[in-house]
Structure 1
Amino acid sequence: MADRTLNASGLRCPMPLLKTKLELNTMSPGETLEVIATDAGSARDIPAFLELSRHHLVSASEADGHFRFVIKCSD
């Protein structure tokens, strides 16, 4: 279970990614963020951003057009 949930359903690229970045900036190291998005670009954009950031992708899944990411905030 994540510490916070960001529901970005219905938002189009690049808003799910931007809102994810903003939310992570307010979190403490070790906290987890669950992101739910419906924009297919999120499946590419969010993991790509995390590869370049200090944060870690814990899991990613897709079901019925909903993309779910669990991210661990790092220092």
Structure 2
Amino acid sequence: MHHNALLDATDLLCPEPVMMLHVEMRKIAAKDVLKVIATDPSTTRDIPKFCQFLGHTLLKQQQDEDVYCYWIEKKQV
């Protein structure tokens, strides 16, 4: 899936992936897509809640063994 930016949060534990996600979302333009790669299983709960709370769109969520990928579209301002 297409993305404009990438956040590699592998080997980081809660709350670091979501904290880094917050910083990266501020850097990209509205409607851009950020791909997040993580290995912390808590991201399966935290990242969808992050998107819902802040109004971003979680376009896709995928798991391949112990690696979790998310494609998040930044909300229109």
Question: TM-score, normalized by length of structure 1?
Answer: 0.96
Aligned to 1:43: 44
Aligned to 1:63: 64
After superposition, residues 15-54 of structure 1 pair within 5 angstroms as 15-54=16-55
Amino acid at match of 2:35: E
Question: TM-score, normalized by length of structure 2?
Answer: 0.93
Q: Point out where structure 2 has 5 or more consecutive residues left out of the alignment.
A: none
Q: Judge conservation of contact 2:5–2:28 (CA < 8 Å) in 1.
A: no
Kindly provide the CA deviation profile for residues 4-55 of structure 1, in whole angstroms up to 9, marking residues without a partner as x.
0100000010000110111001111010000000000011000011111121
Amino acid at match of 1:14: P
SS in 2 for 1:68: strand
Number of equivalent positions: 75
Amino acid at match of 1:63: D
SS in 1 for 2:48: helix
SS in 1 for 2:69: strand
Question: Pairwise CA RMSD of aligned residues?
Answer: 0.7
Q: Which runs of 4+ in 1 moved over 2 A?
A: none
Structure 2: distance between partners of 1:47 and 1:55:
9
